[in-house]
Amino acid sequence: MKRHRLSTRIWHWLNLVCVVVLFMSGLNISNAHRYLYWGKWGFAPEDAWLAVPRFPGWMTIPDYYSLAQARDWHVLMAWPFALLLLFMWIAMLANRHFWRDLRTRRSEWHPSAIGRDIRAHLRLDFDHGEGKYNFLQKLAYGLVLGAFLPMMVLTGIGISPGMEPAFGWAIDLVGGRQSMRSLHFIFAWAIFGFLVVHVLLVLLSGPVRQMRDMITGGRDEA
C-alpha cells in the first residue's frame, strides 16, 4: 500500500489550486468592503468588529481591483472546491483512510501524551507515534477536513446572492448574513494559517521526499 493513495494525491493538488485561487480572489472581493460585522446587517464602519486592511494587487486575483472579475474567479473555483471535498470524504471513508490514519484514540488525548507529542515536534521529530500520523498531525488534518473546509463551503453558500431561501436556516443559525460573512473570513484565514504551517513543516522534514511521495505515492508501507 502506497503512503499516499491516488485519491489523496489527486485531491491534494487540485484542492491546492482551488484554495489559492479562492483565497486570492477573495482578497480582491474583500477590498470592495473592508469591514466585518456580526448579525443580519452592517454597513457603517463604526459598527464593524474588524476593519480589514486593503490588500495589494500582487496578493489578489485579478491583480487590480475588479469586484466583478474577482467574483467570477471565486465562483469558478467554488464548485470544484466543494465537490472535491465531497469526493475526498467519500474516498477516505470507503478506503478506511480516515478510520485507520486520522482517527484519534482516547489515550492520545491524555495531557501527558499531548505534552510528549508537543515536545517531539519541538525537536523536529515528526515520525513518532504508532501510525502514519502523530496526534498533532491527526488533530490538524481533522480540523481542516472536518471543520475548516466544510465551513468554507457552508458559509460561502450562505453569503452567495440568491441562496437565502434554501440556506436561510444556516444563516439564522449563526445570527445573520453578516455573521456568515465574518465566519467565512475567519475560516479562510484559518486555512491560510494551516497552509503556512504545513509548508514550513514540510520544509523542515525533508521537502524532496515529501513532494516526491505526494506525487508518486511513496514507497510501500509494508
- At 79-116, the pLDDT tens digits run 999 999 999 999 999 999 999 999 999 999 999 999 99
Distance (Å) of CA 60 to CA 24, 31, 55 = 4, 10, 7
- In this prediction, residue 129 carries a pLDDT of 67
Cβ neighbourhood burial of 61 (10 Å; 0-12, 13-18, 19+): buried
Fold classification of 6-216 (topology level) = Fumarate Reductase Cytochrome B subunit (1.20.950)
Per-residue confidence band for 192, with pLDDT thresholds at 50, 70 and 90: very high
pLDDT at position 221:
55
Residue 222 confidence class, pLDDT cut points 50, 70, 90 = very low
How many whole angstroms from its chain centre is CA 111?
Answer: 27
**Which of 37-41, 59-63, 101-105, 122-126 ranks highest by mean pLDDT?**
59-63
Mean pLDDT of 10-29: 97
Q: How far apart are CA 220 and CA 152, in angstroms?
A: 34
In the numeric block, which cell numbers belong to residue 87? 469526493
Residue 89 confidence (pLDDT): 96
What would the pLDDT profile of 129-165 be if each residue is shown by its tens digit? 677 899 999 999 999 999 999 999 999 999 998 888 8
Per-residue pLDDT, averaged over 64-78, amounts to 96
In angstroms, the CA 8 to CA 213 distance is 11
pLDDT at 219 over 80: no
Q: Which pTM does this prediction carry?
A: 0.91
Phi/psi-derived region of residue 148, left when phi > 0, alpha when psi is between -120 and 50, beta in every other case: alpha
